[in-house]
Structure 1
Amino acid sequence: MKPFRTRQPLVVRRPSMMRTGVAVLAAGALTSLAACGGSSGGASASESDTVTIALDADAAPNGYDPLLYAQGQFEFFSGLYDALFVTAPDGTVTPSLVSDFTNNADNTQTTLTLVDGVTFTDGKPLDSAIVKANLDRRSDPDLEAYGSLAPGQASEITDVAAPDPKTVVITWAKPQAAPENNLVDTAGVIVGPDGVADPTSLETTPDGSGPYTLDTDETTRASSYTFEKSDDARNADDWAYDTITFKVIVDPQARANAVVSGQADVAGILDPGTIDLVESRQKTVSQGGTIVGFYFLDKTGATNPAFGNEKARQAIGYAIDREKLVSDLHEGSRATAQFFPEDAAGFDPALDEEYGYDPAKAKALLAEAGLPDGFEFGVTVLGQPTEDQVAVQAQLAEVGITMDFVTATSTDQLFAAVQTDPVLFNPFAPGAQPAGFVAGVLYGGFLNTQGAKEPEIEAALGGALGATGDAQEQALTDLNTALTANAWVAPAYEDFTYFGYNADEVAAPSFAGTNNYFVLSSIKPAS
């Protein structure tokens, strides 16, 4: 049975994040909605042609280049940009800018045929040359979306050819289980020619082929974003609203009040303390698969020598009393010591036993690491640390590990901490097929900016991405085991994401398959 109440930390689903995600907490200005009360009175935010969505964090903190962000940001950017393939609500990968595609016998080459009638904000048409120009940016380390496609990564592209204006031929470094899955949502976004030629222009001006354009007059960065539908867009009829407005409401109570009062039609992510309020007046939808815990950024000892020792990282995992954390703070969540969600292929319940709470083992590992007195490290927080962080701080102290909280004085400092802190304690949602997340974020993306290598992880990841059937299942299990055994992560619990919505105005939003972000085009007026 799905848990009914959980606590969901506020995160941007980029590195949410959120660079998501992501997953670093992003800041945004509170709008006037922060003053909304719990009353159900007040005018509705949704007229027949407008939908208003309250976000828990700024969706575009680094501008409007969607390739700077992780997969979950497609929830926002899909209105402005289209992608080669997109995730449908039922979880299937569906062609969007592609009318047809084929893979060769060993899945090392994919041929795409592009759809007709697509133009970008800059007025130029979609053709194979601009698809090639986009994918040829894959070696840029700043482009989070291309983490798994970059040289040396698990889904590496070695060549992109454009033999004619409508045909793109992509060559993969090694066989891929389902090559089209590498080009879905954010990873498959195609930026227009002007944006590719001058990426700095995307800091202020999107250049996409989506059904909406950004209304700059009605947009205030980090506060509110307004999209206006282009009636001549290829797929305009597939989107229900003429206007989509995103409101950044960081304060969880204000965000809940917004959907309760009718000032917003959809609100996410809900804080657990506000779920009852929302459900007393409106409706909620939820999605599992969010893994909360430590993600080790420093696996080489570059920022803190202790973290270069695998045994020291393992000690952190054994020191976490996950069952107590869940019983005290997260009734209904699932304690876990592994990165793969319970419903994901490759999940192994034995890992939760083998790598569960064992403070004596944690102390023994510290001694083996040459740290019999433990060690100290810092974690950057914006404002006050979460209840989770405070609880885990006390648990680590019991085995001699000191976790200090460093208060960020600006959001820039918070984002910069991804480069300087040895760990993040955050939620991430790897989805039902976690190999892609591992390839693009955990191993080949912003959670491994040091470029740390682990042959066991790399071999299992290659198998998971390149195999099918039983062989892929085993490779996924091996990958999950390798991540846990080599202490690239130290999860604490699996949580659930809640969104609120005004059922009088909109139908229930649909998630993108098993991912914890919704399909923007699925938001429709209530019937």
Structure 2
Amino acid sequence: MFKSTCAALALSFGLAAPVLAEIPNDADTLAIGAYRDNRTFDRAQLTGSHWMNYWQPVFDTLLKAKDDGSIEPNLAESYSYSEDGTELTLKLHAGVKFTDGTPLTADAVKANMEYLQNSAGQNKWMLAGVDKITVVSDTELVLHLAQPNPALLFGLATVGGVVALPSTLGTPEGAAHPVGSGPYIFDTKDTVTGRQYVYTRNPDYWNKDAYPFDRVSITPITELSARLNALRSGQIDAAVGEPRVVNEAKAAGLTVTSLPADFFGFFIADRDGKMVPALGNVKVRQAINMAMDKAQILKFVDGGMGKVTDQAVAAPNALYDPALEGTYKYDVDAAKALMKEAGYGDGFTVQMPDLASMSAYNPIVEQQLGAIGIKVDWVKVSPTSTIPELLSGKFPLFLFRLGGNSPWGDVVKYIAPTAPWNTAKTETPELDALLADAQKVLPGQDDAKYRAITDYLVKNAWFAPWYQIDSVYLTNKSVSVSLPVENITPYLYDYKKTGK
């Protein structure tokens, strides 16, 4: 009733809802407005964040991440570690089939893992350390690790644990028309690539009660104003918002759900000074940390929805250390003094990517870095190339927001020498030793070794964090959601019907 009423009101008052949907929205449909278009369904190239919307309906994962970050069984009905943390045994639900009727076996799981490991996918780190996979039976396999990987369980609950039909791996058909064992089937008839992606219920799914909708539609809507209009009209039920539109969304009768999530700030990638020698000097990096008035940026640009921080990690997380907050206070004079001590009193020029998603901050970056003598040379980057361009290693400094994972997941994602977001592959003996100590800490054990890593990163100014920014998600009255601590959008099983 709510959806049809909204649509009628939109027509009667002439609201400019964008004509985006190909199929109508009704009470049995979950209609999501996505911030980004899908890139591929190739199992090795899948990612989290906004793109998880597209693959979660089709692909089941071995484990499941709860909203608080804890892990529980899923496609694998049980899992257990050896005492030394170097063997993980997974036991699968019996009788599960892919939607084409092919049995889902331990061999299929092994094929998917090996395909990801041998790929160039940015999330191959999720299976880091898995040296060998032994198939015990159709429903049991063992992952053998050279050394413990505390992030492995989280990886198996997200991209690392995806199971696609093995015959589609590495094929153009698999990249365009996915086949999995998940709660929904990709609807090739109603899907219009780039415009709307449609999924219909999998009648044979083993856990149907966790997914109350008969159909899911996902419409890429890049513009925030267009997403708001589509929500107002009832054309979609849910979409990513931003802190700056919270009041407008509430006034329109939408529900706002928020959660402190992403680290937001500068990635000082060229810490070795290979591209820009100045950035190899710790005093220059510390000066950058002191040059930004992050409290005022948070207040006036992002509506105060976040928490100023000096750490490139989103709490709660074992890497987070409250004692480090306040290490770098906004102080232009002190920043200038550090620049002079480092031999860069006259400043220098640095190339930064001009990203559409970060463009609102560009004038602030220019002004506040300029105040300590750092001139920014902007390089335009296409929205469709943002992630590949940032990960290419060509930019010595960039502004971005990145969600957290498990503590060791964050290490292998953007701290370790092989981490994709350690784009210059910086490495020091001191940090290597700290990482080696932390790798031996299994979940639930002593966090001090993780905090020692963050202490090193903060004092050596590997990053220049601004704040931990809130994720904002908008829904109409017919749908409710909860937000996970590790992702900017809800997981598919977080959407529920309200009956309104």
Report the TM range for the smaller structure's normalisation. 0.7 to 0.9
Change (3 A) 1:511 1:328: closer
Which residue does 2:458 correspond to in 1? Answer: 484
The answer on 1:70 being equivalent to 2:47 is yes
Aligned equivalents of 2:301, 2:376: Cα separation in 1: 20
Q: Secondary structure in 1 aligned to 2:361? A: helix
Report the alpha carbon displacement of residue 124 of structure 1 after superposing the two structures with TM: 2.6
Report the alpha carbon displacement of residue 371 of structure 1 after superposing the two structures with TM: 3.3
Which residue does 1:22 correspond to in 2? Answer: none
Contact 1:345 1:473 in 2 (8 A): yes
Aligned equivalents of 1:288, 1:86: Cα separation in 2: 21
Change (3 A) 1:342 1:105: closer
Report the alpha carbon displacement of residue 107 of structure 1 after superposing the two structures with TM: 1.2
Change (3 A) 1:321 1:178: closer
Contact 1:288 1:516 in 2 (8 A): no
Which residue does 1:19 correspond to in 2? Answer: none
The answer on 1:52 being equivalent to 2:31 is yes
Report the alpha carbon displacement of residue 309 of structure 1 after superposing the two structures with TM: 4.3
Report the alpha carbon displacement of residue 368 of structure 1 after superposing the two structures with TM: 5.1
Q: How does 1:46-445 map to 2 (within 5 A)?
A: 46-58=25-37, 60-61=38-39, 63-72=40-49, 73-121=51-99, 123-140=101-118, 142-150=120-128, 156-177=129-150, 179-196=152-169, 198-268=170-240, 270-280=241-251, 281-332=253-304, 333-367=306-340, 369-383=342-356, 386-408=359-381, 411-412=384-385, 415-419=388-392, 420-431=394-405, 433-443=406-416, 444-445=418-419
Change (3 A) 1:342 1:241: closer
Mark the runs of 5 or more structure 1 residues left unpaired by the alignment. 1-34, 151-155
Aligned equivalents of 1:425, 1:102: Cα separation in 2: 40
Q: Deviations over 1:31-72 (max 9, x none)?
A: xxxx95389xxxx964232110111122x22x1124424333
Contact 1:322 1:335 in 2 (8 A): yes
Q: Secondary structure in 2 aligned to 1:386? A: helix
Q: How does 1:24-35 map to 2 (within 5 A)?
A: none
Aligned equivalents of 1:299, 1:121: Cα separation in 2: 48
Report the alpha carbon displacement of residue 343 of structure 1 after superposing the two structures with TM: 3.5
Q: Deviations over 1:424-459 (max 9, x none)?
A: 31111215x443123134534431244332344444
Aligned equivalents of 1:359, 1:273: Cα separation in 2: 27
Report the alpha carbon displacement of residue 123 of structure 1 after superposing the two structures with TM: 4.0
Aligned equivalents of 1:517, 1:458: Cα separation in 2: 33
Change (3 A) 1:69 1:393: farther
Contact 1:384 1:407 in 2 (8 A): no
- Specify the code of the residue in structure 2 equivalent to 1:218: D
Q: CA RMSD in A?
A: 2.9
Aligned equivalents of 1:384, 1:525: Cα separation in 2: 31
Question: Paired residue for 1:498, among 456, 472, 480?
Answer: 472
Q: Secondary structure in 2 aligned to 1:245? A: strand
Which residue does 1:510 correspond to in 2? Answer: 482
Which residue does 1:16 correspond to in 2? Answer: none
Aligned equivalents of 2:140, 2:261: Cα separation in 1: 37
Aligned equivalents of 1:485, 1:101: Cα separation in 2: 39
Report the alpha carbon displacement of residue 297 of structure 1 after superposing the two structures with TM: 3.5
Contact 2:28 2:214 in 1 (8 A): yes
Q: Secondary structure in 1 aligned to 2:247? A: helix
Contact 1:147 1:441 in 2 (8 A): no
Aligned equivalents of 1:487, 1:378: Cα separation in 2: 19
Contact 1:103 1:179 in 2 (8 A): no
Q: Deviations over 1:94-153 (max 9, x none)?
A: 211212222111111111112122223554322222222222235446212222433xxx
Q: Deviations over 1:458-513 (max 9, x none)?
A: 4434444431588631022112222223333211112111111111x22x212235
- Specify the code of the residue in structure 2 equivalent to 1:487: A
- Specify the code of the residue in structure 2 equivalent to 1:78: Q
Which stretch of the first structure deviates more once superposed, 375-384 or 91-100?
375-384
Q: Secondary structure in 2 aligned to 1:425? A: strand
Contact 2:413 2:421 in 1 (8 A): no
Aligned equivalents of 1:390, 1:397: Cα separation in 2: 10
Q: Secondary structure in 2 aligned to 1:144? A: coil
Aligned equivalents of 1:38, 1:213: Cα separation in 2: 28
How many residues align? The count is: 478
Which residue does 1:473 correspond to in 2? Answer: 447
Report the alpha carbon displacement of residue 361 of structure 1 after superposing the two structures with TM: 4.4
Report the alpha carbon displacement of residue 252 of structure 1 after superposing the two structures with TM: 0.8
Aligned equivalents of 1:120, 1:448: Cα separation in 2: 37
- Specify the code of the residue in structure 1 equivalent to 2:132: D
Report the alpha carbon displacement of residue 205 of structure 1 after superposing the two structures with TM: 2.0
- TM-score normalised by the chain length of structure 1: 0.82
Q: Deviations over 1:392-434 (max 9, x none)?
A: 2211111111122223367347743542222331111215x44
Contact 1:464 1:475 in 2 (8 A): yes
Q: Secondary structure in 2 aligned to 1:132? A: helix
Q: Secondary structure in 2 aligned to 1:216? A: coil
Aligned equivalents of 1:493, 1:174: Cα separation in 2: 34
- TM-score normalised by the chain length of structure 2: 0.86
Aligned equivalents of 1:195, 1:460: Cα separation in 2: 41
- Specify the code of the residue in structure 1 equivalent to 2:237: D
Over 6 Å off, 4+ runs: none
Contact 2:34 2:218 in 1 (8 A): yes
